[in-house]
Amino acid sequence: MLFAAGSALDHVLDGYVWTLIDTFDLTIYLPYVTFDDGHKFGISRYTILMILAAGLILCIYLPLAKKIQTGAAPTGIFWNFFEFILTFVRDSIAKPYIGKDADKYVHYLWTVFLFVLFCNLFGMVPFLGSPTASFSVTFVLAATVFIFIHYNSIAKFGLKYHLFSFAPDLELPLVMKIFILGMLWPIEFGGLIIKCFVLSVRLFANMFAGHVVLGTILLFIPMVANLSPAVSGPVTLVSALGVLALSFLELFVAVLQAFLFAFLTALFFGGVLEHAEHAAHAGHGDGHSHHGAHDAGSEHGGHE
């Protein structure tokens, strides 16, 4: 990263010019097309890095899945480490917050966790960058979470009970109930939209800010390069040590943000499933109670 760019933002912002080593003018110009309104579309630096992240995940876990299918006990550091990651996500995130159906949906949490983790860690590698430092990337990730939550809730409980999950069961007169639910339902549904939006902002802000700080500190080194050794030496030493210390913090943040993204996804999803299940049981219970009352009335009438 020290040789990577001329400004702190060059390491963070996406683009179609990929500067690997600025000192030797080693630059890759990526293909893109420009529309009439000035917008550009093509294969950007972050596009390549996201494809690389997906490719690495497949290269690691496809052979590992074949070994696991044999039923053999894990052997070696590689197998144990990467299987431990999956076990951790399942046991510490999926099962506590999704519940009995955790195994049915954990594959999505695995995918999200690993993809975000790899994209975050790419930012620690010189000349690469973190795709999750782009709001467009984190926004799409949060949009997939939103779709995942609603699609699976509807698929399991149906559209009716999924919509009922955003409105509590109120023991009120019909007119008042309609009035209150008319206010509560948009608030509850909008709240989930806001939660997913904040999910994207949280990931983007943490990754973007961290890399900007690291890049800014590094820029002090070329700024004092032409000054006397009495000035450039201490500045370079302090900058290098500062970046080294912050890099360990940034590494922790990269892992933490991947965990939080998967954790909040499971938390939001589990909440919607729980409310939809409660609405479904309440609906069936009402149906059973009505049938029971009807049968009891018929039986009473029969005795009469």
Asked if pLDDT for residue 93 goes beyond 90, the answer is: yes
Count of domains for the chain: 1
For range 249-269, the mean pLDDT:
92
- Boundaries of domain holding 72: 8-303
Residue-wise pLDDT for 13-26, tens only, equals 777 777 765 545 67
Contacts 24+ apart (CB under 8 A), 147-151: 148/108, 148/265, 148/269, 149/192, 149/196, 149/265, 149/268, 149/269, 149/272, 150/272
For range 42-46, the mean pLDDT:
85
Q: Is residue 100 part of a domain?
A: yes
Residue-wise pLDDT for 158-173, tens only, equals 888 888 777 766 665 6
Residue-wise pLDDT for 115-134, tens only, equals 999 999 998 887 788 899 88
Asked if pLDDT for residue 4 goes beyond 50, the answer is: no
Q: Is residue 3 part of a domain?
A: no
Element containing residue 15 per DSSP (H, E): none
Q: Is residue 98 part of a domain?
A: yes
Asked if pLDDT for residue 6 goes beyond 60, the answer is: no
